[in-house]
Amino acid sequence: MAHFEDLKLSDRLFMQVYRYRSVDWSPGARLRKPLNWAKVALISTAGLHLPTQSRFDTAVKGGDVSFRELASDLDVQQLKIAHRSSSFDQAGALKDRNLVFPLDRFRELVARREVGLLNRRHFSFMGSITTPQRLITQTAPQVAEKLHEDEVDAVFLVPV
């Protein structure tokens, strides 16, 4: 496990001065059916996109709050990574995208009937968003509405 002292000096200084938000997640969502009957979607903050989609813009001050839709039948290894954080060591993810978007593992869970089914689409964001207001008020609600339209029961979030 990494320790604060293991981080680069610039990252430690950033973390010491950043104004973190406190969010009250109560009452929170509750899964209302067994997982093996549930429809599940994946969300990653690894900045994943398909070669046919535009990259996340790493030059946007405060972070690119847009998202990319990823179809459930895609080949995970085709995904590209456009994440701006120098603290995100991409070596493992470049070898196996399932580390940051475990679609193949969830396909296995569905085949074993441990998860009901996968949603037709999943979502990718770029992490390292230091000014999240637009994400909270605009982008995240758009994705939440799409998940609601798709009647998704549970979301598996892979934060990077």
- Find tokens 């637009």 and name the residue: 134
Q: Is residue 22 part of a domain?
A: no
Q: Is residue 19 part of a domain?
A: no
- If one counts every other C-beta atom within 10 angstroms of the C-beta of residue 75, the result is 10
Type of residue found at 32: R
The pLDDT value recorded for residue 90 is 77
Q: Is residue 25 part of a domain?
A: no
| Whole-prediction pTM | 0.88
Distance CA 68, CA 50 (A): 9
pLDDT digits (tens, 9 = 90+) for 53-101: 999 998 898 889 999 999 999 999 999 998 877 777 878 888 999 999 9
pLDDT digits (tens, 9 = 90+) for 124-146: 999 888 899 999 999 999 999 99
Mean pLDDT of all residues belonging to the chain: 92
The pLDDT value recorded for residue 148 is 97
Q: What percent of the chain has pLDDT over 90?
A: 64
Q: Is residue 154 part of a domain?
A: yes
Looking at residues 9-33, what average pLDDT do you find? Answer: 83
Q: Please count the structural domains in the chain.
A: 1
Q: Is residue 14 part of a domain?
A: no
The pLDDT value recorded for residue 86 is 73
**Can you give the residue range of the structural domain that contains 80?**
34-158
Q: Is residue 47 part of a domain?
A: yes
- The greatest distance separating any two alpha carbons of the chain, rounded to the nearest whole angstrom, comes to 47
**Cα 102 off chain centre by:** 11
The pLDDT value recorded for residue 50 is 97
Q: Is residue 83 part of a domain?
A: yes
Q: Is residue 2 part of a domain?
A: no
Comparing 67 with 24, which gets the higher pLDDT? 67
| Distant-in-sequence contacts of 33-37, Cβ < 8 A, 24+ apart | 33/116, 33/153, 35/114, 35/115, 35/116, 35/154, 36/113, 36/114, 36/115, 36/116, 37/116, 37/153
Distance CA 10, CA 121 (A): 37
Tokens of 107: 């396909």
